[in-house]
Amino acid sequence: MKTSVLGYPRIGRKRELKKAIESYFKGSISAEQLEDETAKIRLASWKVQRNAGISYIPSNDFSLYDNMLDTAILFGLIPRLYREAGLSGIDTLFAMARGYQDDNGTDITALPMRKWFNTNYHYIVPSLEDDMVPELSGSKPIEEYCEARSAGIDTRPTIIGPFTFVKLAHCSGKKKPQDFADALVKAYSDLANALRGAGAEWLQFEEPSLATDLTADDKTLLSSLYAPILVSRASLKSLLAVPFGDIRDCYQEVLGLGFDSVALDFVEGPKNLELIERYGFPANKILIAGVISGKNVWRNDRAKTAELVRRIARASGCDPESKRLELGTSCSLLHVPVSTAEEKALDSAVLPRLAFAEEKLAELVEIAGLLTSGHEAGNATGLEVPEDPQVRSRIAGLAEKDFIRSPSRKERRAIQQARLNLPPLPTTTIGSFPQTDEVREVRASLRKGTISHAEYNAVIRKMVSDCVARQEEIGLDVLVHGEFERNDMVEFFGQNLNGFIFTSNGWVQSYGTRCVKPPIIISDVSRRNPITVDLAKYAQSTTKKPVKGMLTGPVTILNWSFPREDIPLGQSAFQIALAIRDEVLDLERNGIGIIQIDEAALREKMPLRKIDRKAYFDWAIPAFRLVHSGVKPQTQIHTHMCYSDFTEILREIDSMDADVISFEASRSKLELLDYLASADFETAVGAGVYDIHSPRVPSKEEIVAAIETMLVKLGRNADRYDGIWINPDCGLKTRGNTEVWESLGNLVQAAKRVRDAQKQ
């Protein structure tokens, strides 16, 4: 029985990709040296998969930054601004992803960035200009296929399919993405023929957009794109892969097209089995059953999976011993860490229960072998999870009043303004300040035991006081303590809660060179002790201006961790919410008048289909409300969200009942504001006025223009407290001190300029 992997992590076992790219950014290595390093990473990944016995290994799943960006460049869809900058090919790619600024006056903002469906991975949104004509103008998929073949490894090239590309691309002119369809058909056809000419046998089209709600026009578009591509591909075989859900809206349309193989997700898309049982599966196609989760780290239940595959086989008429049924991953393994081999410190009772990408390869081969041999698939002993009676009792005792804050938001706003006395257009930051080498070194010294806790705390307090003083000096209105004690916004809280374990090398790519190390939830969650109170109190004691208490919300902690699979997600969310609620009330008791509870990951586990979303929001929104419902009216609650499309869920966001929300909006040119205005959004808004993921420094004029856009689009004036805040679009931890302070200085001056203009 053959096995298939839809994609593999590209960061390397020890984040070699991140280190190489960041060395290139610093000028420590050349473009040629970067290519040498990335070739080593690709080869190592292919060899791991080959040695594990995987039948079909992907190529072109590697990227220096993002596959959507790679696809746009492959087909020559580079906006004029970047084409005319005179940069090399690789620097053009990075300019599109991160922006570019030099001493010669070149100043380019980055393309928008969004979450990739229901994952924490971020993609770059292609920008299509009216005069663009898609055509095959690059050779990356062909080069990487040939690179693998020269190493003796035959791969299946993969590319983001034309339907998903069209659905996710943005048009900057009068045309719509569908207007580029005919030219895209030829570009994809040319790619298919070039790959066949290079010796490739297969081409995999990745189409996650087919797991979303589709209209009749969408289905027409799907057929109009693929029918000519599949006719013109010579003898190249085609695979359609649909991760992250089911294809209920287009099952028969997909099977009516000329794909040789279809890969369906049976982990997040259980309805796919119902579709096969109802409509059958064509005898002339191969079915790849995605039964190994590409998004969680618990070992597969072999017996359960074997029975699922047998049901799939019966319904589809594809016998496990035939060549028509193959086993695969539910999605790319990009979303899990690379290998447990580097985990030397994890509890010996837990480690055998975990499967990262490398271990999932072994699971695929093992289950395929068991099914082919007809042997029973026994299971490893499950992890025993003791319940915490106190946590369970608190959950059971929750009542409706625990999710409602009084008085109304409108009444609270006046009470809070009387207490805080903020100017119009108050300025603030999202929370974190640069994680410099000094910050990382002092944390490492504490871990190694070369400094005491007292010495560590003294250093951190000095960093906090310096940061607060600098913010006060440049004129910010609401300050933060800088978060120098925190490694990651989720891991930091998990380390102070019961119920979490942590890897030493379980890194997962979030975007570009940004990697995160998600905690793993293994039991009931509760707070061990106050987490942030001491430093928040200290920071507030150094200034008369308000200092925000900074917390991560329960939905984000859950969604950016690897969750338990033995209890509902909502129950885990409520457990975390009660723990963070305890922290909120402690901050309030200790004089912190503004508390920010970040929910950057609210969308991550939101179902892709509208009909399925109510069940998610029925626990996600109450979990956030549970955190803050007990505070006094004069305590101002902020939250923050970033790099997602929020336009469809603004009503749910407003119902979180925060007092202020800051959004990432700069990369999308503040387009979110139009939706906020039309939705009569009540929560006060801070739409990010500049992009912190770019190394460029925004000018005062640029920020003034953004503020004026906010005032116009939201229909408000700056001569009163009107619920508009001025802030960057996200935390500043990944940036350098020089650019941060210059950017924030420009932000403060821009806000003052607009205030002064409004007074005249």
Distance of alpha carbon 93 from the chain centroid:
20
Of 746, 653, 757, nearest to 701 (Cα)?
746
Q: What value, to the nearest 5°, has the Cα angle with vertex 474 and ends 473 and 476?
A: 100
> In 700-745, at which residue ranges do the beta strands (DSSP E only) sit?
none
DSSP state of 216: H
What CA–CA distance (Å, rounded) separates 399 from 382? 34
> In 496-563, at which residue ranges do the beta strands (DSSP E only) sit?
497-501, 508-511, 514-516, 520-527, 548-552
Cβ(598)–Cβ(551) below 8 Å: yes
DSSP state of 452: -
Return the residue matching tokens 């229909």: 715
Return the residue matching tokens 């005069």: 131
What CA–CA distance (Å, rounded) separates 55 from 158? 15
Cβ(138)–Cβ(180) below 8 Å: no
At position 41, the amino acid (one-letter code) is I
> Measured between alpha carbons, how far apart are the two ends of the chain, in Å?
76
What CA–CA distance (Å, rounded) separates 599 from 627? 12
Of 68, 7, 64, 9, nearest to 37 (Cα)?
64
Token pair of 61 as six digits: 């799943």
Cβ(734)–Cβ(436) below 8 Å: no
At position 72, the amino acid (one-letter code) is A
Token pair of 666 as six digits: 């700069």
Residue-wise DSSP of 692-704: TTSSPPPPHHHHH
At position 143, the amino acid (one-letter code) is E
At position 701, the amino acid (one-letter code) is E
Among candidate residues 335, 628, 640, 693, the one labeled active-site is 693
What is the β-pairing status of strands 155-160 and 202-206?
parallel
- Collapsed DSSP state (helix, strand, coil) of residue 255: helix
CA distances from 727 to 79, 476, 660, 689, 723 (A): 28, 10, 12, 6, 13
Concerning whether 628 is annotated as a catalytic residue, the answer is: no
What CA–CA distance (Å, rounded) separates 117 from 167? 12
What CA–CA distance (Å, rounded) separates 628 from 610? 27
At position 243, the amino acid (one-letter code) is P
What CA–CA distance (Å, rounded) separates 608 from 378? 34
- Collapsed DSSP state (helix, strand, coil) of residue 760: coil
Distance of alpha carbon 382 from the chain centroid:
30
Of 287, 318, 375, nearest to 366 (Cα)?
375
Token pair of 160 as six digits: 């983001």
What CA–CA distance (Å, rounded) separates 302 from 293? 12
Query: Active-site residues: which are they?
Result: 693
